[in-house]
Amino acid sequence: NWLGELGFDVNYIVARDHADHSSAYPRVNVFGKLSGKMAMPALHLNGHTDVVPAGEGWTVDPFGGEIKDGRVYGRGACDMKGGIAAALFAVAA
């Protein structure tokens, strides 16, 4: 609970089932709130970790995490995860 260690109040909310998502892999929303002592506008950082479907059109196994020419190809290899990490490290700084 890194956000908690940074002083955030943290809540986890499991998203309800949706036809496009398997209930075998729960989708959890993480909310972190850091209350300040000054009356200033709020800063909202937002990201998502959902990925593109594993449908048609893939030239590699979407679940394989194949490396070609120094790049990773597969479902979720290039999404918001880096942006979320950057936002969290910015908050920690």
Any domain includes 50: no
Identify the domain containing residue 92 by its residue range: 58-93
C-alpha distances in Å from residue 91, one per residue of 6, 45, 81, 86: 9, 9, 16, 9
Q: What is the mean pLDDT of residues 19-29?
A: 76
What is the predicted pLDDT for the residue at 55? Answer: 82
Any domain includes 18: yes
Secondary element (H or E) of residue 71: strand 71-73
Please count the structural domains in the chain. 2
Any domain includes 80: yes
Any domain includes 45: no
The distance from CA 82 to its chain's CA centroid, rounded to whole angstroms, is: 8
Instruction: Provide the pLDDT confidence category of residue 14 given band limits of 50, 70 and 90.
Output: confident
Instruction: Provide the pLDDT confidence category of residue 17 given band limits of 50, 70 and 90.
Output: confident
Residue 10 pLDDT exceeds 90: yes
What is the predicted pLDDT for the residue at 42? Answer: 81
Residues 3, 33, single domain; the answer is yes
Structure pTM?
Answer: 0.63
CA angle 19, 20, 22 (to 5 degrees): 85
